[in-house]
Amino acid sequence: MKKLIINADDFGYSRSVNYGIIDAHTDGVLTSTTLMTNMPGAEHAYQLGEKHKTLGIGVHLTLTCGKPILKNHHTLVDADGNFKKLYHYQKLFHIDTNELYAEWKAQIEAFLDSGLAPTHLDSHHHINNLEPILPVFLELAKEYKLPVRHNFKIKPEFGTLITTDHFEYNPEILLGDVNTIVEEYKEAQTIEIMCHPAYLDKSLMTGSSYATPRIEELAMLIHPDVKKKLQQHFQLMTYRELEKEEA
């Protein structure tokens, strides 16, 4: 039986995102999420995480949304003190990796200060898989002994990493029949499927380029047919269970 981690990015973005993720977990098949500790909804997300112990919660390391936790950066932010947008990193760019390490470490520490225990690490907009940034991501994963999202090519020199066999960017695969899903991942036993369920509010509509599709993803994750299919034919799990299996 194949094992699925169904992970919602952006926990902590806003209250509407938080509530959508919680409903996708309590009423649907969502097993996991990752939290943006620098965003306005982070404290609300911590509170919800404390109430919902079965939801695996990792850290969604952020470099392209909102403001940093630390205030002394000069290569990570624009003139207003906000993180630079994703387009800044799509061609040549300069980044002080010491600044990045300090900021991302602060984001992890903010999560730990909440009293929650993180299940794994990933990053907003998959910024971790860029060549100058990946070493910092891996350093922190090893420092905190955390599993990571498999959204980059794993090389022998990276050492031992706990991750899934496969990472899926498109949650629509969950609408396929059982045979379609099994065939899609015939080479993998453990798979993370990324999604972005949410209810909509003004901050999401004005701040995110990916807004209205989130309500469709939420509807899919709580749909009775999807629930029945996945619960009967796949093992739904979190990175916490994955780590225990690989220990």
pLDDT digits (tens, 9 = 90+) for 107-166: 999 999 999 999 999 999 999 999 999 999 999 999 999 999 999 999 999 999 999 999
Q: What is the rounded distance in angstroms from the CA atom of residue 74 to the CA atom of residue 58?
A: 27
In whole angstroms, give the CA distance from residue 120 to residue 135: 16
| CA nearest to 119, candidates 63, 191, 28, 35 | 35
- Look up the CATH number of domain 3-246: 3.20.20.370
The Cα–Cα gap between 238 and 135 comes to 25
The whole-number average pLDDT for the span 34-59 is 98
CB-CB contact of 28 with 3 (8 Å): no
- The residue behind tokens 């909509």 is 200
For the annotated binding site, the residues are 60, 124
Please, what is the average pLDDT of the chain? Answer: 97
Tens of pLDDT, residue by residue over 175-230, are: 999 999 999 999 999 999 999 999 999 999 999 999 999 999 999 999 999 999 99
- Cβ atoms of 18 and 26 within 8 Å: the answer is no
Rounded to an integer, what distance in angstroms lies between the CA atom of residue 236 and that of residue 242?
A: 11
Whole-angstrom distance, CA of residue 49 vs CA of residue 134? 28
Q: Report phi then psi at 96, rounded to 5.
A: -85, 110
**Percentage above 70 pLDDT, the chain:** 100
> Mean per-residue pLDDT for 170-175?
98
Q: What is the rounded CA–CA span in Å between residue 142 and residue 124?
A: 19
> Which residue positions form the known binding site for Mg(2+)?
60, 124
The pLDDT value given to residue 246: 83
**DSSP string across 123-182:** EGGGGGGSTTTHHHHHHHHHHTT--B---S---GGG------SEEES-GGGGGS-HHHHH
Averaged pLDDT for residues 26-31? 98
Torsional sign, CA 115, 117, 123, 124: negative
Domain borders along the chain are: 3-246
Does residue 53 have a pLDDT over 90?
yes
Contacts of 94 by beta carbon, 8 Å cutoff, 6+ apart? 75
- Share of residues in the chain with pLDDT > 90 (%): 98
Q: For residue 247, what pLDDT is reported?
A: 73
